[in-house]
Amino acid sequence: MKTMVSLLLAPAHPASGSFRWRWAALSLALATAPLAQAQTLIETITTTSVSNTLDQTQTTNALPGLDRAKAAQQTQNAQTQKTNAAIGATDPVTGKAAAPLIPFNTAQAARLSTARTLLSQGDARGARPIFEGLIAANYAQPEPHFGLALSLLSLGDLTGARFELTQFVALSPASFEGPYNLGVIAARTKDYDEALKQFTAAVALSGSASSTAAPAARRQLLEALAGEQLRRGDYAGLSTTLTQALASDPQDLSLKYRLGQATAYAGKGAEALPLLYAAAQSDVNRTGATLLIADIYAAQKLPDRGVRELDTAAALVSSAERARLLVRKSQLLQAQDQTPAAVQAAREAVQADSKSAAAYSALGTALAVSDLKGSLAAWQTAAGLDAQNGGTLLNLAAVQLSLGANAEAQSSAVRAMKLTAATDNASLARAEFVQGVAAYRLKDYAAAVKALGSSAARSPGAQTSLWLGLSSYARKDYAGAIAALGESVKLGDSSAARLNLGAALLAAGRFSEAEPNLRSVVVGDPSNAAAWYQLGLARKAQGKDSEAKTAFSSAAKLGYAPAKAELK
pLDDT tens-digit profile of 346-398? 999 999 999 999 999 999 999 999 999 999 999 999 999 999 999 999 999 99
In the chain, the percentage of residues whose pLDDT exceeds 70 is 82
Taking all residues of the chain, what is their mean pLDDT, rounded to a whole number?
Answer: 84
CA distances from 478 to 435, 436, 438 (A): 22, 18, 21
Give the H or E element holding residue 449: helix 445-458
pTM for this predicted structure: 0.75
Give the H or E element holding residue 40: none
Query: CA quadruple 398, 365, 233, 189: dihedral positive or negative?
Result: positive
Residue 35 DSSP code: G
pLDDT tens-digit profile of 156-169? 999 999 999 999 99
Confidence of residue 295 (pLDDT cuts 50, 70, 90): very high
pLDDT of amino acid 58: 28
- Tell me if residue 306 falls in helix, strand or coil: helix
Contact status, residue 331 vs residue 364, Cβ threshold 8 Å: no
Angle of helix 253-265 versus helix 235-248 axis, rounded to 10: 160
pLDDT of amino acid 211: 83
Using CA atoms, how far apart are residues 384 and 396, in angstroms rounded to an integer? Answer: 11
Using CA atoms, how far apart are residues 317 and 328, in angstroms rounded to an integer? Answer: 15
In the chain, the percentage of residues whose pLDDT exceeds 90 is 78
Name the architecture of domain 35-249+337-415: Alpha Horseshoe (1.25)
**Going by CATH, does the domain composed of 428-567 fall within 1.25.40.10?**
yes
Asked if the domains at 35-249+337-415 and 428-567 fall in one CATH topology, the answer is yes
Contact status, residue 76 vs residue 104, Cβ threshold 8 Å: yes
Contact status, residue 290 vs residue 280, Cβ threshold 8 Å: yes
Positions of E strands within 255-382: none
- Tell me if residue 459 falls in helix, strand or coil: coil
Contact status, residue 10 vs residue 431, Cβ threshold 8 Å: no
> Is residue 35 scored above 70 in pLDDT?
no
pLDDT tens-digit profile of 421-480? 999 999 999 999 999 999 999 999 999 999 999 999 999 999 999 999 999 999 999 999
pLDDT of amino acid 83: 44
Q: Where are the domains of the chain?
A: 35-249+337-415, 428-567
> Is residue 65 scored above 90 in pLDDT?
no
Higher pLDDT, 50 or 543: 543
Q: What is the mean pLDDT of residues 35-44?
A: 32
Among the listed residues 552, 143, 178, 33, the one whose alpha carbon sits nearest the alpha carbon of residue 130: 143
Contact status, residue 492 vs residue 462, Cβ threshold 8 Å: yes
